[in-house]
Amino acid sequence: MIRAIDVHKRFGDNHVLKGITLEVAKADVMCIIGPSGSGKSTFLRCINQLEATDDGAIWVGDELLGHEVRDGRLHQLTDRRIARQRRPVGMVFQRFNLFPHMTALENIVEGPIKVLKESPQEARGRGLELLGRVGLADKAGAYPATLSGGQQQRVAIARALAMNPQLMLFDEPTSALDPELVGEVLGVMRDLALSGMTMIVVTHELGFAREVANQIVFMDDGRVVETGTPADVLTHPKNERTQAFLSAVLA
Partner 1 sequence: MPQVQSRHGPSVLEKTDIAHLPRFARRHYGRYVAAVAVLAALAMIVSSFANAQIEWEVVRQYLTTEAILHGVLNTIVMAVLAMLVGVLLGVLFAVMRMSKNPVTRGVAFLYAWIFRGTPQLLQLFLWFNLALIFPYFVLPGLIEARTVDLMTPFVAALLGLGICQGAYTSEVVRGGLLSVDQGQTEAAQAIGMTRTQTLRRIVLPQAMRVILPPIGNEFISMVKLTSLASAIQYQEVLHSAQNIYYANNRVMELLFVATFWYLIVVTILSIGQSLVERRFSRGHRPASSTKPSMIRRLVSRGGQA
- Enumerate binding residues for partner 1 (CB under 8 A): 48, 50, 79-80, 83-84, 86-87, 89-91, 93, 95, 97-103, 110-111, 114-116, 143-146, 156, 159-160, 162-163
Residue closer to partner 1 by CB (options 78, 121) is: 78
Three-state secondary structure readout of 194-210: HCCCEEEEECCCHHHHH
Dihedral pair phi/psi, residue 96, rounded to 5°: 65, -55
The two counts, helices (H) then strands (E), for the chain are 9, 12
Burial class of residue 82 (count of CB atoms within 10 Å of its CB; 0-12, 13-18, 19+)? middle
Residue closer to partner 1 by CB (options 115, 246) is: 115
Min CB(69)–partner 1 separation in Å: 23
Min CB(36)–partner 1 separation in Å: 18
Min CB(103)–partner 1 separation in Å: 8
Residue closer to partner 1 by CB (options 16, 158) is: 158
Min CB(75)–partner 1 separation in Å: 18
Min CB(230)–partner 1 separation in Å: 28
- Tell me the C-alpha distance between 10 and 1, whole Å: 26
> Among residues 198, 201, 126, 207, which one has the least CA distance to residue 167?
198
Residue closer to partner 1 by CB (options 117, 251) is: 117
Taking the mean position of all CA atoms in its chain, how far away is CA 7? 17
CA distance between the termini of the chain:
36
Residue closer to partner 1 by CB (options 113, 193) is: 113
